[in-house]
Amino acid sequence: MTSELSRTIVLWCPDWPILAACHERELDPGQPIALIESQLVFACSAAARRDGVTRGLKLREAQYRSPTVVVLDYDAALDARIFEPVVRRVEETVPGVQLIRPGSLAMRARGPTRYYGGEDAAAAALLATVAELGVPGARVGIADGPFAAEQAARAATASPVGIVAPGASAAFIAPLPVGLVTDTRTTTLLNRLGVRTLGEFAELPREDVRRRFGAAGAFAHDRAAGREQARVIARTPPPEFSVQQEFEPPLDRVDQLAFAFRVLAEEFIERMRAVRLVCTGIRVELDDEGGGHSSRSWLHPQWFTPADVVDRVRWQLQGAGTASGLASPIVRLRVVPERIDSTGNHEEGLWGGGPDERVHHGLTRVQSMLGHEGVVTATIGGGRMLTDRQVLVPWGDRAPERPNDAPWPGSLPALAPASVFRERLPIALQGAGGVTVTIDGRGAITTTPEVFAVHGGKPAPVRAWAGPWPVVERWWDPERAKRMHRFQIVDDDGCAWLLVRDDEGWWAEARYD
């Protein structure tokens, strides 16, 4: 006999990764969209599935099946962040919520059904709650255990609510494929043995399954037989540190909005300081009068102060309009902490921070006067050309993720030149009799270089030379294709130069000082 305590409600939001990505980038979820992870399709929209795109498909195959598909990188943190307001709102309707994954929630059915007067009424209350948040297509499943309840929600097509009668969960999930409860290796083995559905798996002797597949197999067998031992474990809501301010009437000047937010910025930092926490990363979200949404993450080299938070808000606003006015008035401002750490990890040493602390305060002060991109630090990125590898990052920001360790065929091997010219210098490279050195179709020089001159300067003898080495980029794109040759020389003073030859002539790209 099934206990009333085992009845479980599962709220499922289909295609949640797609909805979260569309909300962040202001895209239409009705168009073909694919989220990519490790060059494989992690999730896709309904329109993409109609074109033949499926989960696990390779990127190129997905683009072949759906030429108009919008390809985006999958961000697990984005899923959780966008789903957090949904979880908090559902907790106001039904307490004791367990987060299965972003887009899926589980809760005990006993309390909600008694409060709302039945399982149908409780499901209707949950659907009305998520509908208020603008989440389309949500479904609710009710069964004996979280697994069966989630399958009931996924199977609910004619109605957004799927209810399995008490004690009927095993029969309901019996036709489902066995791969829902086992890993890939076990699924392959069971299929070879002729076991393809959960019902067939449940008919196997329990002890034999445990001896052959271990504890994981026994757990899967209990699920398949409807003897699910898992129970809903309600989460403890994390403390709320985020702050939000709405402006009525909307503000269209940066200085007005920054001044109005100062008090709330102090409250934002004080909430964390009261529990001995500091914030090292925040997210600023802006909603304007025209329905636009701006969201950006900001990092801090140490920790945020109220003035630092106001500066980030001001910099983000200045990026959306002129220095004083905005293209569209702001109606809502929200600041969310993304990185929180204990104050004990950021305490000063016994004798203070020394020069590093003074450098930090000096750079931060200059940055507050000149703007976010007024103070930058240099980092090395990926690329074939040396100018592509020079990346300037605003002070306090994380360096962009670039495939520095990628093969980069045609890139310059170590050691790299010490001086890289921001703008390439035109040079003249000549052989005997003043004949200009060129490169033929086979990639070989036409004459031995003897003298060269930098930017119209005095010609200098060439002591040694090496090359050329071809560099070809984007050969498949006629407009962006690039083909050139690298060349190295040593002048009479012993200084080495890195030269580049393209359709326009010879250029000095860098110098080995």
The DSSP-derived string for 313-369 is: HHHHHHTTB-SSEEEEEEEEEEEEEEEEEEGGGG---TT--THHHHHHHHHHHHHHH
Residue type, 41: V
Angle at 380 between CA 405 and CA 387, to 5 degrees: 105
For residues 67 and 117, membership in a common domain is answered with yes
- Please, are residues 105 and 112 in contact by the beta-carbon 8 Å criterion? no
Do both 24 and 54 map to the same domain? yes
How many other C-beta atoms lie within 10 A of the C-beta of residue 494? 9
293 & 202 share domain: no
* CATH number of the domain bearing residue 338: 3.30.1490.100
- The CATH number that applies at residue 11 is 3.40.1170.60
Q: Which residues contact 74 (CB under 8 A, 6 or more apart)?
A: 17, 21, 35, 36, 37, 42, 43
Are 60 and 120 part of one and the same domain? yes
Per-residue pLDDT of the chain (513 residues; tens, 9 = 90+): 455 557 899 999 999 999 999 988 888 889 999 999 988 999 999 999 999 999 999 999 999 999 999 999 998 888 988 898 899 899 888 888 899 999 999 999 988 999 999 999 999 999 999 999 888 889 999 998 899 999 999 998 888 999 999 889 999 999 999 999 898 899 999 999 899 999 999 999 989 999 988 888 898 998 888 887 777 888 877 778 889 999 988 888 888 888 899 999 999 999 988 888 888 889 898 888 887 888 888 888 778 889 889 988 888 887 654 444 566 888 999 998 888 888 877 666 555 554 566 676 677 777 767 777 777 877 777 777 777 777 777 877 766 665 555 667 667 767 777 788 878 888 888 888 788 888 888 888 888 888 888 877 788 888 888 878 888 877 787 787 888 888 888 888 888 888 888 888 888 888 887
Pair (51, 110) in one structural domain? yes
Placement of tokens 């979260």 in the chain:
20
User: Could you tell me if 194 and 264 lie in one domain?
Assistant: no
Residue 405 lies in a domain: no
Please report, for the domain that includes residue 203, its CATH number: 1.10.150
Burial class (CB in 10 A: 0-12, 13-18, 19+), 167: exposed
Residue 111 counted as domain residue? yes
d(Cα 470, Cα 487) in Å, to the nearest integer? Answer: 9
By the 8 A CB rule, do 55 and 44 touch? yes
> Helices 306-318 & 355-370, crossing angle to 10 degrees?
40
Q: Residues with Cβ < 8 Å from 407, sequence gap 6 or more?
A: none
For residues 254 and 307, state if they share a domain: yes
Closest CA to 161 of 125, 117, 112, 198: 125
Asked whether the whole model's pTM tops 0.75, one would answer no
109 and 212, same structural domain?
Answer: no
Last residue of a domain, one of 134, 158, 182: 158
Q: Which two tokens stand for residue 401?
A: 């993720």
Strands of the sheet with 104-108, listed across from one edge: 97-101, 104-108, 7-12, 139-144, 161-163
Domain identity same for 283 and 201: no
Residue 382 lies in a domain: no
Number of folded domains in the chain? 4
Q: How far from 233 is each of 40, 128, 218, 331, CA to CA, in Å?
A: 33, 24, 21, 38
Residue 381, exposed/middle/buried by CB under 10 A (0-12, 13-18, 19+)? middle
Task: Please report which residue ranges of 176-260 form alpha helices under DSSP H.
Answer: 184-192, 198-202, 206-224, 254-260
- Give the structural domain span for 17: 7-142+152-158
Same domain flag for 101 and 198: no
Whether residue 18 lies inside any domain: the answer is: yes
Q: Angle formed by the axes of helices 76-93 and 16-25, to 10°?
A: 100
In a domain, 411, yes or no: no
